[in-house]
Chains A and B, each alone.
Chain A
Amino acid sequence: MARMPVQFRLNGTDRAVFVESAETLLATIRRGLGDFAPKFGCGQGACGVCTVLVDGEPQLGCLTLSVTCEGRSIETVSGLADGPTLHPLQAAFMEHFAAQCGFCTPGMLMAAKALLDHNPNPTRVEVVEAIAGNICRCTGYEPIINAILAAAQQRGARRA
C-alpha cells in the first residue's frame, strides 16, 4: 500500500509521519505518533471522544483524513499543561469532579479549550452548546459545565 508523508505541528512540535492514504488523524496521532490521549468511541462523529484542535478549531480526529492536515497545528490534551503546571481547565476538572471513568475527558477538555480561547466569558448556555458534541456516560455533565465556568471565571480573575 502506498504511504504518503504528512507534516504537521503536534502540541507545538513539528512532526513528520508516513500515513496510509485514508488513515484518520486519530489513528495517526495514536498509533503513528504515540499520543494516546484522543480516544476512539464511535467512528461516526457522534461521541466526540476524538476531539482535537486543528488550527485552534475543534475537529473530530476520527473523521479527519491525515493527508488533509499538512502544515496544520494540532493540539491534544497531552499538550494542555504547561510543564508541571496544569491548565486552568484541567485544574477545574479536578476540583469539580468532572470526570469518573475519564474516557471522554481528553475530548471534553479540548472542546472546552476551544470555547474559552474564542469566548473567555461564556454563559452557561454557551458552555452547554460547546460540549454538545461530547458524550459523557458517567458524570451527567453538570460537574463538567461547572468546571468550565469555574475555569473561565478563574482566568478572568487572574487577568483582572
Chain B
Amino acid sequence: MLEFRKDLFADERDDNLNVIGKGEQRQDMLGHVTGRTRFFDDHGFDGLLHLKVVRSPHHHARIRSIDVSAAERAPGVKRVIRGQDVPLNKNTLLSLIGFGKDDEPTLAVDKVRYKGEPIVAVIADSEAEAMAATKLVRVSYDPLPTVFDVQEALKPGAVVVNETYPGNYFEYHDKYDHQKLRFGDVEAAFRTADHLLEERYQMSPIEHASTETNGTIAAPDTNNRYVVHSCAQGLFFSLDTTAKILKLESNRLHFIGGTVGGGFGGKVDSLTEPLAVLGAILTGRPVRYVLGREEEMQFASPRGAERHVIKDGMMRDGRIVARQITSYFDAGAYTRLSSYGVVKCVAHMPGPYTIPNVRGDAYCVFTNRVPATAMRGFGVTGLDFSIEVQMDKLAHLVGIDPMEFRILNAYRDGDMKAHRRVAHNAALIECVQVAAQKVNWPLSETARRASSLSGGGGARAAIPPTVTDESGRIGRPETRQAPPQLTPGAAAPLPAYQPPQAVPVYQPPPAHQPAAPLPNYPSQPAAAAPLPAPTPPVPTPPAAPQHGAARFSSVFTRRR
C-alpha cells in the first residue's frame, strides 16, 4: 500500500510511526454507509420556505428597472428581496483579513457584470412556486460591451468591468497593478544565455462539480439567533461574512456544518448563506436556498482560468540562468479569492529550481466571466503545469533527458530562493530519483549520486544585485513598460525557518492577573546590513509568536 523510503533523510526524523502508513478508518464512514451523515440540506423544518434567484442573462449590462410586483403577487410567494434590502450590499471575502476593497453586491442594483449574477431573490412556500415567480420579475437591461480576455482587459481604454477597480486589476500594496518578484537581473542573464525559450500556457476555468451543490438552510432559533446549516468549507469565515453583510452581531449566528458533499474549494465563497439568513430574518421562518446544477455551473465560482508566459534563458549545459514569468489570473467580475491566488502563485515562482535570476509579475484581472475562486492547489496548480511543461521543452531544446534536467536544476538545501529565503528540507532530487527507479528510467551516475543535501549553499546562497522597478503603478498603465533601474544589493535575507523542537505547551496566565499585552513584532526584517558572507546564514530566532492576519502584514495592504 504505502512504501516508506526510510533510507532517505533517515537521520532527520524518527521513523517509528504509530499511525502514518497504517489504514485508519474515517470517523464519518459509518454515517456515510448508513445514510445517517447529515449534510446541510438533511434537516427538516416545519414551515420551510424556498428561495430562488433571478439572475442576469447578460454578461454585462446596466439595469434600467426592476419590477417585482407580479412576482410579489404570485401564488405561494412570501417575500421578494432586492438589493436595497441587503444591509451591506457590497463586500469582498478577504476584507475579513484586511485585504482588498468591498466590490461585490449580494444582489445587483444598477449593473450586472457577469451572466448569472443575482438580482432579485424570491421566497415562496415551495421551490416550484419560487421558480415560477422568478419568471414574473421584470428586469430591463441596457447591454454593455464585454471583455473576456485578460490581456485585453488590462489595456488602457478597455471596458471597465468592476468600477471598484477601474483598471480591471486588483490593486496590490496601494502601489502596483500586479504582484512582483525580483531577484537578480534577468535581462542581463538573457543576453548571456545560449538558449532562450518563451512560451505561453493557458487553461480554461475549471468546475469543481461536487455532487452536492452550494446551499444553506437558515432558521430563526432561540434567543434571537439564527441557526444556519451551511455547506461552507470554512464555517467561521462564512459566519463572519454573513454577519458583515447583514450587519448582525456575530453572536446572533449559529453556523452548523463542516460536513460537505465535496468542496474542493468551491464552497468557500458564502454564496448562499447571506440571502438565506436575510430571508429568515425578513420572513421569520426557515428559508432554504440551494443551487440547482445549472446554477452551480453558471453562477457558483469555478477555478479561475490562468495564463502564464514563461521566458527562460538556458546555457548549453542545461543550467537555467534566468526565468521570467508573467501570469494573468482571470478573476471574473469580482475579486472573491483571486487576489490571494495571485500571491500564492508568485510565492511559488520559479518552481523548485535554483535559478539565479528571476522576475515574476502576476496580475489579478477582472473580466465579464463568472467570478473565480479557490480550487485544490489554489494559485499553484496552473503555474506548476506551465513550469513543468516548460522544463520538458527546455530539456528537449538542449538535448538532455528531462529527469536529469530537473535534477541538474533542482534546488538544494542552503540555496537562496528568489524570495530571499534559504532552501531547507528540499527533496525534489530524491523524488525524481525514486520516480525514475520506479519506472526503470535510466539515470546517469551523476544524477543518481545527486542529493538535496549536497551542492547547495556557498555561492548559491548569495542574494545577487537585483534590478527593481516601479513599473505598473496603479492607475498609470503607461508605467508598465518603465525601464528598470539597477539597484545594488538587497535587504538582508529573512531568517530561515526554524521548526519548533517540541510542541509548545500553553501556559495560562496566573489567576487574577491581566494577560500580558501582545508584543509588537517588527514588520520589517532587521535593519539592512551589508551582503551576507557566502556561507549559509545563521538563523535568528523569530521575534514573537505570529498570529494569522499579522503574518501577512508585510505582504498585504493595510486594513481599511
- A49 and B41 CA atoms in complex are apart in Å by 14
Q: Is the CB of B210 within 8 A of A105?
A: no
Q: Is the CB of A34 within 8 A of B35?
A: no
Instruction: Verify if B151 is at the interface (C-beta below 8 Å from A).
Output: no
> Which of these binds chain A: B14-22, B57-65, B259-267, B505-513?
B259-267
Instruction: Verify if B162 is at the interface (C-beta below 8 Å from A).
Output: no
Q: Would A103 and B33 be within 8 Å (CB), given that A34-B44, A138-B262 are in contact?
A: no
Q: Is the CB of B29 within 8 A of A103?
A: no
Q: Would A31 and B35 be within 8 Å (CB), given that A20-B128, A49-B211 are in contact?
A: no
Closest to A102 in B: B32
Q: How many residues does chain A have at the interface if contact means C-beta atoms less than 8 Å apart?
A: 43
Give the A-B contact count at a CB cut-off of 8 A: 106
Q: Is the CB of A47 within 8 A of B211?
A: yes
Closest to A42 in B: B293
Q: Which residues of B183-239 have CB atoms within 8 Å of chain A's CB atoms?
A: 208-213
Q: Is the CB of B34 within 8 A of A81?
A: yes
- A109 and B35 CA atoms in complex are apart in Å by 10
Name the one of B208, B211, B263 contacting A104, with C-beta atoms under 8 angstroms: B211
* A86 surroundings in chain B (CB, below 8 A): 33-34
Q: Would A137 and B34 be within 8 Å (CB), given that A20-B128, A43-B293 are in contact?
A: no
The interface bits of chain B over 18-45 (1 if a CB of A lies within 8 angstroms of the residue's CB, else 0) are: 0000010110111111111111011110
Q: Is the CB of A41 within 8 A of B213?
A: yes
**How many whole Å from B268's CB to the nearest CB in chain A?**
15
Q: Would A105 and B293 be within 8 Å (CB), given that A40-B41, A94-B25 are in contact?
A: no
Instruction: Verify if B290 is at the interface (C-beta below 8 Å from A).
Output: yes
* B553 surroundings in chain A (CB, below 8 A): none
Q: Which residues of A18-74 have CB atoms within 8 Å of chain B's CB atoms?
A: 20, 22, 30-31, 34-44, 46-47, 49
| Chain B interface category by residue count | 35 or more
- A35 and B75 CA atoms in complex are apart in Å by 28
Instruction: Verify if B126 is at the interface (C-beta below 8 Å from A).
Output: yes
Q: Would A99 and B39 be within 8 Å (CB), given that A77-B34, A81-B34, A137-B211 are in contact?
A: no
Q: Is the CB of B35 within 8 A of A77?
A: yes
The interface bits of chain A over 77-116 (1 if a CB of B lies within 8 angstroms of the residue's CB, else 0) are: 1101100001000110110010111111110010000000
- A103 and B128 CA atoms in complex are apart in Å by 24
* A135 surroundings in chain B (CB, below 8 A): 211
Instruction: Verify if B48 is at the interface (C-beta below 8 Å from A).
Output: yes
Instruction: Verify if A152 is at the interface (C-beta below 8 Å from B).
Output: no
**How many whole Å from A62's CB to the nearest CB in chain B?**
10
Q: Is the CB of A43 within 8 A of B292?
A: yes
**How many whole Å from B7's CB to the nearest CB in chain A?**
28
- A35 and B259 CA atoms in complex are apart in Å by 18
Q: Is the CB of A80 within 8 A of B34?
A: yes
Name the one of A31, A34, A41 contacting B293, with C-beta atoms under 8 angstroms: A41
Name the one of B28, B33, B75, B259 contacting A93, with C-beta atoms under 8 angstroms: B33
- A135 and B34 CA atoms in complex are apart in Å by 19
Q: Is the CB of B290 within 8 A of A1?
A: no
- Contacts beyond the supplied A22-B128, A39-B39: 13 A-B pairs with Cβ under 8 Å: A30-B41, A30-B42, A39-B212, A42-B292, A94-B29, A94-B30, A101-B211, A102-B32, A103-B211, A103-B262, A105-B33, A106-B35, A137-B262
